[in-house]
Amino acid sequence: MKKNKYFALAFENGSLTFLDQTKLPFVEEYITTDNYERIAGAIERLEIRGAPVIGIAAAFALTLAMKKNFSKDNFEVTFNRLAITRPTAVNLFWALNQMKIVYDALPDEKTVYEKLLLKAKEIQQDDALMCKKMAEHGMSIFKKKSVVLTHCNTGALAAEGGTAFSVIKKGYENGLVSFVYADETRPLLQGSRLTAFELSQNEIPFEIITDSTAASLFLKKKIDLVITGADRITANGDAANKIGTYNLAVLCKFHEVPFYIAAPTSTIDTSISHYSEIPIELRSSKEITAINGKQITLESYPCYNPSFDVTPAELISGIITEKGLFTFPYHFK
């Protein structure tokens, strides 16, 4: 099996280096910056994406902003700027609030940068450990050697080791996964661009399918289980994930196929208890009318482009976290 040489982001020599995911799989281009606004823009443009990685990037961006100006006003301006980059992924707000707790407790302004940098690195390291534990707990979902269907991207590009992808990878390494179907994940094709890239890098057998192909595979009994990630999970287990996830959960219910989610506990928002409370990000119609800047229909046509949908808890067979596998009805501890 190949050793992964790619990475989502790394902090070295006072700057953040990140892989521009919008250019994959054709170009692996890394960008290095110490400008928090450049990082904020990268999150908005999905150069940096994946709920856990967004949170890590925001933590480093906030740290960099305080390097030369550690005033309270600058902290608040930067905090608020980063908080509006992506409204649905709760990991972003979790990470920013972790940084704020550290900042508010500091007695000496001269240590602000060092202390925030230490916390940002801790968040990144903890995410890597959580991904490893999720993979371990995820082995219990396999009852036989399985064909898995997944949606969007949940690998090392989205988290420090991956969420759902880490379960798939470890399952393959342990002889529990034989094949993976990767939804292309329209409109931005995170499946056909990013998940296919990571499956290929890890030499896991796979095929890309259009999002609308999934139902036919269920009818032919070619899918043993589905596993995806999540961007926000409510206290009762409802989950928001990339648009198209709810379709799969409904298909699983009808065809009696298990549907699982893998996500760290930082994705669980215990302040809300129903999917109707999850803010859903609406993105530009240009993502539907064009691909890589090339128009595929008229730019003037109206489009509805929610980035996420929600899956009610009762459709989810289990939620895999670093603390274990939870099943319905969900009571997170």
CA distance 152 to 37: 26
Q: DSSP assignment, residue 35?
A: -
Structure tokens at 14: 């006072």
Instruction: Return the closest-CA partner of residue 83 out of 72, 96, 73.
Output: 96
Of residues 127, 231, 238, 269, which has the active-site annotation?
Answer: 231
CA distance 42 to 53: 12
Q: Which residues contact 300 (CB under 8 A, 6 or more apart)?
A: none
Secondary structure of 176-196 as H, E, C letters: CEEEEEEECCCCCCHHHHHHH
CA distance 87 to 276: 14
- Please count the other Cβ atoms lying within 10 Å of the Cβ belonging to residue 84: 10
CA distance 282 to 273: 22
**b/e per residue, 135-173, with b = 16+ CB within 10 A?**
bebbeebbeeebbbbbbbbbbbbbbbbbbbbbbbbbbbe
Edge-to-edge strands, sheet with 177-183: 206-209, 177-183, 146-150, 225-228, 259-262, 318-321, 324-326
CA distance 61 to 83: 11
Q: Is the CB of residue 92 less than 8 Å from the CB of residue 58? A: yes
| 231 annotated active-site | yes
SS3 146: strand
CA distance 169 to 192: 17
Q: How far is CA 52 from CA 12, 32, 49, 103, 128, in A?
A: 19, 20, 8, 21, 10
Q: Which residues are catalytic?
A: 231
